[in-house]
Structure 1
Amino acid sequence: MPNADYVIVGAGSAGCVLANRLSEDPEVRVLLLEAGGKDGSVNVKIPAAFPNQFHTKMDWDYATEPEPFVDGKQMYVPRGKSLGGSSSMNAMLYVRGRPLDFDLWADQGAPGWGWDDVLPYFKRAENNARGASEFHGVGGPVEVADQRSPRPICKDLVDASVAAGIPRATDYNGPEQDGVAPFQVFQKNGRRWSSADAYLRPAMKRPNLEVITNALALGLELDGDRVTGVRYRRKGQESLASAGREVILSAGAIGSPQILLLSGIGAADELREVGITPRHELPGVGRNLQDHPFLGALFEVSDEDTLYQADKPKHLLEWALRRSGKLTSTVAEVNAFVRTRAGLPAADIQFHMGAAYYEEHGEETYDGHAIVIAPTLVAPKSRGRVWLSSSDPEAKPRILTNSLEHPDDLQSLVAGMRLAREIAAQEPLKSKIVKELKPGKELVSDEDLEDDIRKRLMLIYHPVGTCRMSDDAEGAVVDSELRVHGLQGLRVADASIMPVITGGNTNAPTMMIAERAADLIRGRVGAAVGAAS
């Protein structure tokens, strides 16, 4: 199908949603292009195996430029490169974000994206194991489950957090986010439930949907101010996929701005620097990059029921036969949202806690039983950007987050690390702590902790914001209906459109964006929201 009504670029968290929802109409033809291959690897299906995909052919395997506020460190940015995209390689944590986040979107020039507007789309997507309620849905394609085989010490992590003054959260995905609770997860019967599982696979039998894998997008075809198709390369051959109605970019916060820039859409002077002829001046493309930086407080523990040696044959067998046991873990099993100082409108720190040693994205190991209590900055004030290194579509773009540029960001992480130690000092956890591994008990002062943060800081795989949505804000790339400013026949629908990063893991809000995008494209927003409510 070289021609279609809609051509979608990227079969990830958003693209799979769009492929399903748009192809529900049998009168339209939908073509989905994915640069990666299929998602059949066991490292996709087994939840705890997600780090095994890092630095493989299933990973775009990006890294930032040397970060000026993190001791010049180049920070790893994994992105999924297969059906399901990053939903096939993430940690499967179901977190929507705070109502405040979405109301901020609306306040910054994106009417229709406030909390009351987006809640019906979250509910429509869900099949939540806890049942239907005012804030949750059942019967949707996205399986949201409680953890199947949590580690016993994770209950101690919850109880110790409460002892440290963090309240229990009844539903961190409802109107009040603050508090501690086990994560809900994107799983079904102990295996990953990606966007490809939820949306794409059920739709692939439709005759009006075609999916082409291993198809690298080279750029957009323009006729004046109208986008008419996508040029792509597959097995060494270049082709043009023509779009009768629209092209929709869902290649993510790195890929979508890269494709726009390769097409001559961006800041003209920067495009000329890499030998690209400007076609449409839109200087906001690639700007406004945000991510959640984090690092772990790591402790050796006496409890021997952790994820240490979870890849032993007996655990693989248990997962294969019963879909239970250690390998169903998402590594981070306990979630806590906290405000580290007075006067904040919402949490600035999210803790990811689990029964594992997790350092350097799983590359660094520890020969023993350990836990991690990882403060994650969820309201960063620092902003970065994505730009081209070359006019070659196969060249990786340049990425800079400017993490820790704003002093408040570093202050929050120092406070988060101190609170991590406070949690570890409470029973029933305290008596199981053998020793603090990192940062190390000798690091006490703010200066010591700041140095350690700069040395060990990581990004937690949530890049957003590089095609900012607003009807009126300077630097916006798309309007509140996700149409690229100044062009016809082109939308962006993925995490790149977020004006402000959500306070929490970004997979669920990205799926929500695509659910609403599909209704915007089909012209049925009002009716759908009413039905979803």
Structure 2
Amino acid sequence: MPDASQQPADFGTFDVIIVGAGSAGSVIANRLSADPRRKVLLIEAGKSDNHPWVHIPVGYLFAIGNPRLDWGFKTEAVPGLNGRSLLYPRGKVLGGCSSINGMIYMRGQRQDYDGWRDLGNPGWGWADVLPLFRRSEHHFGAADEAHGTTGELRVEQQRLKWPILDEVAKAAAEMGIPVSRDFNAGDNEGVGYFPVNQKRGIRWNARKAFLEPARRRPNLAIVTECHVRRLRLDGRRVTGVVFSRGNALFEAHAGQEVVLSAGAIGSPQILELSGIGRPDVLERIGVKLAHALPGVGENLQDHLQIRTIFSITGAHTLNDRAATLHGKAGIALQYALTQSGPMAMAPSQLGIFTRSSPAHDRANIEYHVQPLSLDAFGQPLHRTPALTVSVCNLRPTSRGSSHAAGADPLAAPAIQPNYLSTEADRRVAADSIRHARRLMAQPHLARYRPTEIKPGPGPEDDETLARLAGEIGTTIFHPVGTARMGHDGDAVVGPDLKVHGLDGLRIADCSVMPTIVSGNTHAPAVMIGEKAAENIIAAGNR
């Protein structure tokens, strides 16, 4: 780590500096560097993605918690989780979280984006963002109004078959849940298999999609293992960044602007270390105030997944298929020959979007049904056949925070998600467990004799079920909202993604979401990158 008194060496001047080579940052680097007149620097704190667990889809089980690929953050103790602290994975590699995530391509619901627009963010309604989703998409089907086929981001069907998941889908139909032909056309209610960001059974992350086609452009510089320590400010203008690599310290200058794409945890931390944020937080961490923005690090939202587990008989799951050396060898051989089967698995295969109760006018919960069970990601699989039937509240009302814990740029931030801190969220959690129990009790599944392992049978009153949800709930890795769009006093950026009160600085990642989307977050992050690039290009052309 560089000495505090060390003067940074000059790394050069660029038109645009992008901090973070994740889902959004990679898109921006690609789009901006397409103009050879624009000089672009992309800074990534992690290493390259040349690691087998990045590319083999089932490697997510081993990437999470791996210090080579994951920042290894933890939350503070969460009261709503009965005082538990959770692992909070974030990608520490080219491609960011797209290199360790579940590969699910999910946009959310049209009402999510229309809601952003109606909060005073013109240009962010469903009709506005749909062309941006289509622009980056290389969809497995034919091009139509909802999908594009000429973009860089591969979207494919999963290359595996689990008969027990087909049976769960039929049980969902017994409950009156319709079959979904397309989760991504604006209304995701229904049951079906998740589309994934893969290319013939291999993970297709943001690095492959957007950086690989651009990496030979002489006007794009990509540096890895470089940790941004702070932004450079000249009055109210951001003029560059200071970053370290090992014990060396550098300063890069931005002629047009800096774009923070370090994610919902990283971006607010960099702002605060630069003196931008809540005055009380900056005072607490010992950083001099440069620009007061009380919304920085606030409004954290995440999907809490309630991981119910049911043992079954009469069908295979990954638990028993991988329980022996012979089984493991067969799985490995299948993948080596065909890039299919269990090693091509996304973490979740079967999806169900539905309503936890009739009180909701659209799907408010999402199932991730998995033909496996384990105590936690990174832990060994259980030995006997079982299903994990995870349910998450798509639109939680609980709000948390993520702030720098001190002035040391390498120190982990203080993350407090505040899960289940509202009565509405506790009610949905209780209803979600009841819903999962009803699903697994459908007549179609009776032959498999599903038996509830987690949380285990017991009372069904709201208070008990909310407490049980707190015992088994965990993050589904979708933090958003910590630098939200808007015009009120707590908003951090405007609809153009420029930081309020500062020149030369935008934020483009999931932190800008005013409210969380009703689905997974990788596809929306790519879309936000497209939007930011469009805005930056337009600004440069004026």
Superposition TM-score, scaled by structure 1 size? 0.96
Task: Report the equivalent of 2:505.
Answer: 490
Task: Report the equivalent of 2:306.
Answer: 295
Task: Report the equivalent of 2:26.
Answer: 16
Question: 1:200/1:398 Cα in 2 relative to 1: closer, same or farther (>3 Å)?
Answer: same
One of 433, 440, 446 as aligned partner of 1:424? 440
Shift of the alpha carbon at 1:427?
A: 4.1
Matched, 1:437 2:453: yes
One of 397, 417, 428 as aligned partner of 1:401? 417
Task: Report the equivalent of 2:175.
Answer: 164
Question: 1:520/1:100 Cα in 2 relative to 1: closer, same or farther (>3 Å)?
Answer: same
Letter in 1 for 2:152: P
Task: Confirm or deny: 8 A CA contact 2:455 2:472 kept in the other structure.
Answer: no
Q: 1:17-73 CA deviation, whole Å, 9 max, x = no partner?
A: 111011011101111110000111111111112020122221111111111222111
One of 274, 281, 285 as aligned partner of 1:274? 285
Matched, 1:104 2:115: yes
One of 10, 15, 23 as aligned partner of 1:5? 15
Matched, 1:48 2:67: no
Task: Report the equivalent of 2:488.
Answer: 473
Shift of the alpha carbon at 1:347?
A: 1.9
Task: Confirm or deny: 8 A CA contact 2:76 2:414 kept in the other structure.
Answer: yes
Match of 2:102, SS state, is coil
Distance 1:155 1:232 in 2: 50
Shift of the alpha carbon at 1:364?
A: 5.8
Shift of the alpha carbon at 1:525?
A: 12
Task: Report the equivalent of 1:529.
Answer: none
Distance 1:130 1:105 in 2: 29
Distance 2:440 2:540 in 1: 48
Task: Report the equivalent of 1:515.
Answer: 530
Distance 1:368 1:152 in 2: 17
Deviates more, 1:417-426 or 1:181-190: 417-426
Question: 1:421/1:518 Cα in 2 relative to 1: closer, same or farther (>3 Å)?
Answer: same
Task: Report the equivalent of 1:255.
Answer: 266
Deviates more, 1:381-390 or 1:298-307: 298-307
Distance 2:539 2:289 in 1: 35
Counterparts of 1:77-92 in structure 2, within 5 Å, are 77-92=88-103
Task: Report the equivalent of 1:132.
Answer: 143
Match of 1:297, SS state, is strand
Q: 1:430-484 CA deviation, whole Å, 9 max, x = no partner?
A: 21135221122245443432221111110100000000011x2230101100000
Match of 2:479, SS state, is coil
Distance 2:105 2:540 in 1: 24
Letter in 2 for 1:429: L
One of 234, 244, 257 as aligned partner of 1:246? 257
One of 199, 215, 229 as aligned partner of 1:188? 199
Deviates more, 1:449-458 or 1:288-297: 449-458
Distance 2:448 2:142 in 1: 35
Question: 1:469/1:525 Cα in 2 relative to 1: closer, same or farther (>3 Å)?
Answer: farther
Task: Report the equivalent of 1:531.
Answer: none
Task: Confirm or deny: 8 A CA contact 1:135 1:174 kept in the other structure.
Answer: yes
Counterparts of 1:457-468 in structure 2, within 5 Å, are 457-468=473-484
Task: Confirm or deny: 8 A CA contact 2:60 2:347 kept in the other structure.
Answer: no
Aligned residues: 525
RMSD between aligned residues: 1.7
Task: Confirm or deny: 8 A CA contact 1:60 1:80 kept in the other structure.
Answer: yes
Match of 2:444, SS state, is coil
One of 331, 342, 356 as aligned partner of 2:372? 356
Task: Report the equivalent of 1:372.
Answer: 388
Match of 1:361, SS state, is coil
Distance 1:49 1:443 in 2: 38
Task: Confirm or deny: 8 A CA contact 2:16 2:259 kept in the other structure.
Answer: yes
Letter in 2 for 1:81: K
Identity among equivalent positions (%) equals 42
Deviates more, 1:96-105 or 1:268-277: 268-277
Task: Report the equivalent of 2:465.
Answer: 449
Shift of the alpha carbon at 1:139?
A: 1.1
Question: 1:525/1:364 Cα in 2 relative to 1: closer, same or farther (>3 Å)?
Answer: farther
Match of 1:295, SS state, is strand
Distance 1:316 1:221 in 2: 50
Distance 2:97 2:37 in 1: 30
Distance 2:446 2:48 in 1: 45
Distance 2:509 2:368 in 1: 24
Match of 2:115, SS state, is helix
Matched, 1:504 2:514: no
Task: Confirm or deny: 8 A CA contact 2:308 2:472 kept in the other structure.
Answer: no
Task: Report the equivalent of 1:67.
Answer: 78
Deviates more, 1:510-519 or 1:68-77: 68-77
Task: Confirm or deny: 8 A CA contact 1:516 1:525 kept in the other structure.
Answer: no
Task: Report the equivalent of 2:427.
Answer: 411
Task: Confirm or deny: 8 A CA contact 1:125 1:140 kept in the other structure.
Answer: yes
Shift of the alpha carbon at 1:331?
A: 2.8
Shift of the alpha carbon at 1:524?
A: 8.0
Letter in 2 for 1:86: C
Task: Confirm or deny: 8 A CA contact 1:289 1:386 kept in the other structure.
Answer: yes
Counterparts of 1:310-329 in structure 2, within 5 Å, are 310=322, 312-329=328-345
Task: Confirm or deny: 8 A CA contact 1:215 1:234 kept in the other structure.
Answer: yes
Task: Confirm or deny: 8 A CA contact 1:110 1:469 kept in the other structure.
Answer: yes
Question: 1:355/1:40 Cα in 2 relative to 1: closer, same or farther (>3 Å)?
Answer: same
Task: Confirm or deny: 8 A CA contact 2:315 2:448 kept in the other structure.
Answer: no
Letter in 2 for 1:414: A
Task: Report the equivalent of 2:133.
Answer: 122
Counterparts of 1:383-398 in structure 2, within 5 Å, are 383-398=399-414
Task: Confirm or deny: 8 A CA contact 1:11 1:33 kept in the other structure.
Answer: yes
Shift of the alpha carbon at 1:315?
A: 1.6
Q: 1:263-294 CA deviation, whole Å, 9 max, x = no partner?
A: 00011232022110000111110011000001
Letter in 2 for 1:368: T
One of 209, 225, 235 as aligned partner of 1:198? 209
Deviates more, 1:153-162 or 1:258-267: 153-162
Question: 1:375/1:525 Cα in 2 relative to 1: closer, same or farther (>3 Å)?
Answer: farther
Match of 2:430, SS state, is helix
